């Protein structure tokens, strides 16, 4: 009986982990083009973690890092060859023109912080 309960708890924990890392779809924040999009970096998550921007228009993403742990210090946009070193407690802007439609991940260097930039044609 006890083994059965422990097994069940294990399965639930695994399901939660899968949901958290792969299945959860945070609400998208739509870009206001004339001002920076603020992204808070804290507690292992980017807030917002899903950002929609139009294709081919300049955007500025303003990262505000509150998490002092080294895990949070870099942000990488692999698909755009962009990276940034985020200072703690001071806004850091990344400006660029998203020129590839689709969904592009942005992460910390260890890929624990995960966000998604949705570029809409």
Residues that bind Cu ion (CB under 5 A): 71, 108, 110, 112
Q: How far is the CB of 2 from Cu ion (least distance, A)?
A: 37
Number of other residues whose CB lies within 10 A of the CB of residue 54: 14
* Smallest separation, CB 74 to Cu ion (Å): 8
Q: Which is nearer to Cu ion, 31 or 39 (CB)?
A: 39
Is 47 within 8 Å of 70 (Cβ atoms)? no
As measured in angstroms, the least distance from the Cβ of 65 to Cu ion is 11
Query: Of 45 and 54, which has the nearer Cβ to Cu ion?
Result: 45
Question: Quick check: 43 and 67 in contact, CB under 8 A?
Answer: yes
The smaller minimum CB distance to Cu ion, of residues 42 and 52, is found at: 42
Largest CA distance in the chain: 60
CA angle 74, 26, 103 (to 5 degrees): 65
């Amino acid at each position: 009986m006890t083994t059965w309960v422990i097994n069940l708890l294990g399965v639930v924990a695994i399901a939660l982990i899968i949901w958290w890392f792969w299945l959860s779809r945070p609400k998208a924040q739509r870009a206001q083009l004339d001002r920076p999009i603020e992204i808070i970096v804290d507690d292992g998550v980017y807030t917002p973690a899903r950002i929609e921007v139009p294709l081919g228009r300049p955007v500025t993403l303003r990262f505000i890092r509150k998490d002092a742990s080294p895990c949070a210090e870099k942000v990488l946009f692999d698909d755009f060859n962009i990276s940034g070193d985020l200072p703690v407690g001071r806004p850091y802007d990344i400006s660029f023109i998203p020129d590839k439609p689709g969904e592009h991940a942005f992460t910390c260097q260890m890929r624990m912080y995960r966000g998604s930039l949705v570029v809409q044609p």
